[in-house]
């Protein structure tokens, strides 16, 4: 199952939590704002943890 992950870049503050929680599926860009790189790099559970743990609730996951 592939989840569709999106990031509200206005909410992101570059804490970097999602980077280690998503095992590289999400990375920080040159401005320290998160962007989705490769959703397949993480398991669905890892992605959900990254979403839940985002301190600014900037990550959305579409499971449909």
Which residues, in sequence order, are CB contacts of 28 under 8 Å at separation 6+? 14, 16, 19, 34, 35
Would you say 39 or 53 has its CB closer to another protein? 53
Displacement of CA 46 from its chain's centroid (Å): 10
Length of the chain, please?
64
Q: Residue 51 CB, nearest distance to another protein (Å)? A: 11
Q: Residue 64 CB, nearest distance to another protein (Å)? A: 22
Would you say 4 or 55 has its CB closer to another protein? 55
Q: Residue 61 CB, nearest distance to another protein (Å)? A: 15
């Amino acid at each position: 199952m592939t989840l569709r992950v999106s990031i509200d870049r206005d909410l992101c503050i570059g804490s970097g939590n999602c980077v280690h929680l998503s095992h590289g599926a999400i990375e920080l860009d040159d401005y320290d704002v998160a962007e989705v790189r490769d959703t397949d790099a993480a398991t669905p559970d890892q992605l959900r943890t990254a979403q839940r743990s985002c301190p600014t609730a900037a990550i959305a996951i579409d499971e449909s």
